[in-house]
Amino acid sequence: MRPLPGSRGTALALLAVGLSAARCLQSQGVSLFVPQPAINATVDEDVLLSVAYSCPGVPTVEWRVTSSWGVHKIVEWEPGSRANVSRSHRDRVCTFDNGSLQLLRVGVRDAGYYVVTVTEHRGGRQLGTVVLRVSELLHEDLHFVAVLLALLAAVAAVLTSLLWICNKCAYKVQSGRHKLQDSTAEEIELQEVEC
Ligand SMILES: *[C@@H]1O[C@H](CO)[C@@H](O)[C@H](O)[C@H]1NC(C)=O
Ligand SMILES: *[C@@H]1O[C@H](CO)[C@@H](O)[C@H](O)[C@H]1NC(C)=O
Ligand SMILES: *[C@@H]1O[C@H](CO)[C@@H](O)[C@H](O)[C@H]1NC(C)=O
């Protein structure tokens, strides 16, 4: 007999419940909050990979990064004591007691997938992830520069045509005056001749 589609669905649901129960047991009292799971940064910026955990007792916090350069362990520490920073990130990171990690003056090569693991002493743990993108220059900046250049060009064009029109007008007025002066001079001459 073929299994009914309904019973298959129930089995899957049971499996899901079982898995989440196992996850709950595994995480025990640890919970982790990642307010910003995706960050866009520009080169030379300081970036805070912000997290906050809650857990009975003091856990161990560990950050790893997966980038185009492979997987690297960045730092491991127990909040309240000294952090063990890997050589690749020495002097380039700050750690905070809530588990957050700050990357100082990021470069394009810092872009990647950051995973934080909070492990309590009884073995419960929680994972959080932050995806970091690093760009050379924000597209908005380029857009702004393009708009500014277009605006300047328009202003220059308007000024040039205004100047051209003014020049024309001045020329016309001047030549008009010359004609006027010439005709009065002629009149005067004529008058003199008459006298
Ligand atoms: C980051 O940039 C990507 C693509 O440029 C965009 O889709 C995404 O919304 C941006 N995220 C944030 C948080 O600004
Ligand atoms: C963690 O601590 C840092 C430094 O005090 C703070 O800037 C950040 O907002 C905190 N993160 C969360 C999620 O509370
Ligand atoms: C720091 O980390 C390195 C490599 O992960 C390890 O070999 C070393 O024992 C650690 N030092 C301390 C004080 O935990």
Residue 10 within a domain: no
Residue 124 has pLDDT above 70, yes or no: yes
Residue ranges making up the domain that contains 145: 137-187
Q: In this structure, are 38 and 115 located in the same domain?
A: yes
* Threshold 0.85, pTM exceeds: no
What integer is the mean pLDDT of 4-14? 56
Q: Same structural domain for residues 69 and 39?
A: yes
pLDDT band at 4 (very low <50, low <70, confident <90, very high): very low
On whether residue 150 sits in a domain, the answer given is: yes
According to DSSP, residue 137 is labeled S
For 69-107, b/e burial (b = at least 16 CB within 10 A) is eeeeebbbbbbeeebebeeebeeebebbeebbbebeebe
% of residues, the chain, pLDDT over 90? 52
Same domain (yes/no): 75, 155: no
Domain count, the chain: 2
Q: Tell me the CB-side half-sphere exposure of residue 194, using CA atoms within 13 A.
A: 6
Same domain, 81 and 131: yes
- Which has the closest alpha carbon to 116: 131, 104, 106? 131
Is 174 part of any domain? yes
CA–CA separation, 67 vs 127, rounded Å?
A: 18
Give the list of residues 6+ apart from residue 119 with CB closer than 8 angstroms, or none.
30, 59, 60, 62, 125
Asked whether 96 lines ligand 2 (CB < 6 A), one says yes
**76 CA distance to ligand 3 middle (Å):** 8
Mean pLDDT of the chain: 83
**How much of the chain exceeds pLDDT 70, in percent?**
73
Does ligand 1 have an atom closer than 6 angstroms to the CB of 38?
yes
CATH code for the domain in which residue 54 is found: 2.60.40.10
> Is the pLDDT score of 16 beyond 90?
no
- Ligand 2 centre from 80 Cα, in Å? 15
> How far does residue 40's CA lie from ligand 1's centre (Å)?
6
Confidence of residue 109 (pLDDT cuts 50, 70, 90): very high
